[in-house]
Structure 1
Amino acid sequence: MKIGKEASHPSHPQHRLRLEYTEIPFNCDGCKEAGIGLKYRCRQCEFDLHKVCAEARSTFTHHFYKKCEFHFYNLPPGPDKRRCDACQDGVLGFVYHCRRCGFDLHPCCADLPRVLDDGEHNLYLSVNRLSTPCHCCGGKGPGWSYRTRCSTYNLHVSCVKELLVESWQTMYLNVDKNKAKELQTRIPSLKGTLRNHHKGRGGYVGKCCQMASGAVRVVVSAILGDPTAIIAAVVGGFISKQ
């Protein structure tokens, strides 16, 4: 893969976009979700696209929904609010939609790897309801999850995204514009967020925070659109910072 290669995209016809690598979180102007790692960027307009969003296919089938045909849309179809069936978050921009079944997937969610290695365990992506509680929320609710083969560890994709959003909101919320650029060079910590998230939830605190050095790191990096070892290490840095 050649960093610096250029491409055109219909969502930003004014200029060509250049493939870049960043360890600074960004907001994708396509799907409106957070990103890190590889992205296509217009430096003139500060327009960013996840690599996955910039290279989205017009149609595809997913191994979880083999009878569905997903079509790519720049905006969610229809008048009703739509929700991604993987992470349970609202759809605000680019989306894959199955016209027959009504399923929706963010491009990065559609591209989530089926297997992640946290350094100690393999984590397998599953669409089935959890048989044992999620180590973040303590529940067995709907949505995709990563789990070990033995189901000792379970993490909802939605819960990991919630932890990420909580951490970044803490860092960026109510910050004046003069400080915004300074904060762009800092990646916020998830460690405190993990502990605060678990107040009053007993034994799950230790288990989830113990997982933070591995499982949460690789799941966050995958959700952000770049599940590479390099980005997982960067994400591990803001998970473990005091």
Structure 2
Amino acid sequence: MSIVKRIYRELSELGRHEHEFKLESYNKRFTCAGCKKQGFGSRYKCEHCSYELHPECKCRKPTVTHDFFPGSVFEFLEQPHILGSCGRICDACGKDIHGFVYHCRANDWDLHPCCSKLEKELRIDDTDFILCDKVTSKCMWCKNKKLCGTTSHVPGWSYVSGCGKYHFHVCCVAKMEHKAWHWVEVDESGSGSGTVKIFLKIIVAILFITLGCVLFDVVSK
């Protein structure tokens, strides 16, 4: 069975899902049955099936807007291939879209459900970060201006400090979280989310040592 057919079947089954989902939180990674991206912590879980959904994918809306695209409306679609082309790319993180997507028909923009929730402005330890699509500095995590690990030409979004000194790609925030949760899963102490916070503090201390900020509050949104 081709990947497209398999995804179509899974999404069709999800659309007809009759069991109730319960909001749970585990210190384990999971693959969302909706958007197909990995998730952490809180998820809606079916007690009878293997379905697990990001809160953003479970509580999806017919249409959404985003402050980054004033006046644009994004329509929720369960099956990205109905747009008539393959290889849809999220304009926020630059990663492939394999499942649920918010699509703007007027401008041919796409967003993962989780990416549609990104805040336009963040405040971390008295420092303001603005969501941008054009940057002049290197990301403090991957050390590149452009997204790495992707073949797309989508520039992706970044958070840049008001002073212009600090910059990190949206997709690199997810990589930081992946790293932290990996450490939790191999941690035999079973200290759970407390361990996540500790490792994230370490990561942030390396990236923003002059700020001393705690990124956990950002990536947990």
* TM-score normalised over the length of structure 2: 0.70
Deviations 1:93-140 (CA, angstroms, capped at 9, x unpaired)? 10001112111000000001234444x244534133113322112233
1:15 to 16, 19, 23: 19
Verify the 8 A CA contact 1:72 1:96 in the aligned structure 2. yes
Measured in 2, the distance between the counterparts of 1:92 and 1:117 equals 32
* Count of aligned pairs: 194
Bigger drift between 64-73 and 95-104 goes to 64-73
Higher relative contact order (CA 8 A, sep 6+): 1
Mapping of residues 2-81 of structure 1, within 5 Å: 11=15, 13-76=17-80, 77-81=83-87
Tell me which amino acid in the other structure corresponds to 1:38. S
Deviations 1:180-229 (CA, angstroms, capped at 9, x unpaired)? xx9x99789896xx99xxxxxxxxx98527489745434432xxxxx2xx
Tell me which amino acid in the other structure corresponds to 2:15. S
2:132 pairs with 1:133:
no
Let me know the Cα RMSD of the aligned residues.
3.5
Measured in 1, the distance between the counterparts of 2:19 and 2:50 equals 11
| Counterpart residue number, 1:155 | 168
Q: In 2 relative to 1, CA 44–206 (structure 1 residues): closer, same or farther, beyond 3 Å? A: closer
Tell me which amino acid in the other structure corresponds to 1:159. C
2:120 pairs with 1:114:
yes
Deviations 1:50-71 (CA, angstroms, capped at 9, x unpaired)? 1111111111221111232211
Tell me which amino acid in the other structure corresponds to 1:103. W
| Counterpart residue number, 1:83 | 89
Gaps of at least 5 residues in structure 1 are: 1-8, 173-178, 196-204, 222-226, 228-242
User: Secondary structure of the residue that 1:159 maps to in structure 2?
Assistant: helix
| Counterpart residue number, 1:145 | 158
Verify the 8 A CA contact 1:96 1:104 in the aligned structure 2. yes
User: Secondary structure of the residue that 1:67 maps to in structure 2?
Assistant: coil
- Give the deviation of 1:164 after TM superposition: 4.5
Measured in 2, the distance between the counterparts of 1:117 and 1:24 equals 28
Instruction: State the identity %.
Output: 33
2:111 to 105, 117, 124: 105
| Counterpart residue number, 1:230 | none
| Counterpart residue number, 1:96 | 102
Q: In 2 relative to 1, CA 170–18 (structure 1 residues): closer, same or farther, beyond 3 Å? A: closer
| Counterpart residue number, 1:208 | 207
| Counterpart residue number, 1:217 | 216
